[in-house]
Structure 1
Amino acid sequence: MTSPGSKAIAELVHHRKQLGLVGIHPYQAAYVTNDLAHAIAGYRRIFGEFDFAVAESTAQIRVPQGDVTMHLRVALAYVGDLMIEIIEPLSDPTRFYADAVPAVGSGIALHHMAYLLEPSADWDRFRETLETERVAFEMSGDPKVVYLDTRAELGHYLEYAQYSQALTDRIETHIPHNN
């Protein structure tokens, strides 16, 4: 016998697939830190010698208050099919990442889980299904990204992203795969 909860989950999964989500499982687990080298070393102590691609990034984002520029240092690695992202905010005027960083010492904390839309999916149609009051920030272009504030329910944000095939190919080429 199917419970009402499992029926609701099945309907949600079906709806998400119709909108072009790659799957119901996240493709990325993202963490924030105030010391990227320390966070990578800690990750390696627990999980072994992983290779990470490390880069600095500047991004224009849209928040409810307007457009701002963020500067981040980011480490990326695949562990099987899951991408691990570790973010060190260098300039974060919105405090979107910085507020999640542990206040004392060199720390690391889960910030968001990310879901991917197929390159052919209708981003605008998908975006219309999201609760506007939950949108913490978004980026247009390539990639298209929207973050939803689900901290009260889940303890972290949800990210939805759509990459062009060209960006997907670059990611696959430049981010180390660890098994």
Structure 2
Amino acid sequence: MQNFFQGFFQFGYVTRDVDAAVAAFREKFGPVEFAVNEPPAIDGQAAPTRRIALAWIDDVMTEIIEPDPMQKTIYDDHVPAAEGPIRLHHFGYLIDDHQAMLDRLKGMGYDVPMAGSMAGVLDYSYADTRCDLGMWSEFIRLDEGGKAFFGAVPRTMTRVK
């Protein structure tokens, strides 16, 4: 069985406005290139996010999520009061077996209020681990399309390997 924390790869943040957040991030932390996209519908439902900015910084992905304010989402309690800032929402983990992780999360007593699949791309789930970890946990299983998508995310190297 996969260690719960194995596969860590991502800091997930939320913001009111992705453009303002990316600009503030760059101003504070330096030139980081982000890919900004508008998520498609998931399982026939409108995505709970309007836009997402992704960047690899060394081997860790930074994700900045702009939730859809017209929907009630798991992101709502973390949205900063002003445009520009970001607020930590979740840690992301890459996994090999999505159903096994869902079963494990259920066995551990964690609610999984948001999960879905994008055929040929990925399966994902958000577990409410706030009671034990202080934040949400996202678990993602990548198909070939997801591996290609993540591979195309811009990468900023801050250290020499």
Query: Hey, what does 2:100 align to over in structure 1?
Result: 125
Is 1:36 the counterpart of 2:18? The answer is: yes
Q: Are 1:82 and 2:60 an aligned pair?
A: yes
2:42 is aligned, of 54, 60, 64, to 60
CA offset at residue 137 of structure 1?
Answer: 0.9
8 Å Cα contact 1:58-1:71 kept in structure 2? no
Q: CA RMSD in A?
A: 2.2
Asked if the contact 2:49–2:66 (Cα under 8 Å) also holds between the matched residues in 1, the reply is: no
Task: Look up the equivalent residue of 2:53 and give its one-letter code.
Answer: A
Would you say the 8 A contact 2:37–2:51 is kept in 1? Answer: yes
User: In terms of Rg, which structure is larger?
Assistant: 1
Pairing 1:16–2:2 present: yes
State the Cα distance separating 1:25 from its structure 2 match: 5.1
- Contact kept in structure 2, 1:59 and 1:71, CA below 8 Å: no
Please give the residue correspondences for 1:1-179 in structure 2 after superposition, counting only pairs within 5 Å: 15-16=1-2, 24=6, 26-60=8-42, 68-69=45-46, 70-91=48-69, 93-102=71-80, 104-106=81-83, 107-117=85-95, 121-131=96-106, 133-141=110-118, 142-173=121-152, 175-179=153-157
Give me the whole-angstrom Cα distance separating, in 2, the residues matched to 1:169 and 1:68: 24
Cα distance change on mapping 1:152 and 1:122 into 2, 3 Å: closer
Identity of aligned residues (%): 32
Quote the Cα distance in structure 2 between the aligned partners of 1:31 and 1:111: 5
Q: Check the 8 A contact 1:36/1:73 in 2, yes or no.
A: yes
Q: Which moved more, 1:77-86 or 1:39-48?
A: 39-48
TM-score by length of 2: 0.82
AA aligned to 1:16 is Q
- CA deviation vs aligned residue, 1:52-104 (integer Å, no higher than 9, x gap): 1011113336xxxxx853242111000001011001113452322233102x3
Name whichever structure is richer in helix by fraction: 1
Structure 1 28/112 Cα, relative in aligned 2: closer, same or farther at 3 Å?
A: same
1:145–1:43 Cα change, 3 Å:
same
Return 5+ residue gaps in structure 2 as ranges.
none
TM-score (norm 1): 0.74
- Length, aligned pairs only: 151
**Where do 5+ consecutive residues of structure 1 fail to align?**
1-14, 62-66
* SS in structure 2 at match of 1:59: coil
**Cα distance in 2, alignment partners of residues 28 and 134 from structure 1:** 21
Higher strand share: 1
Distance in 2, matches of 1:116 and 1:25, equals 5
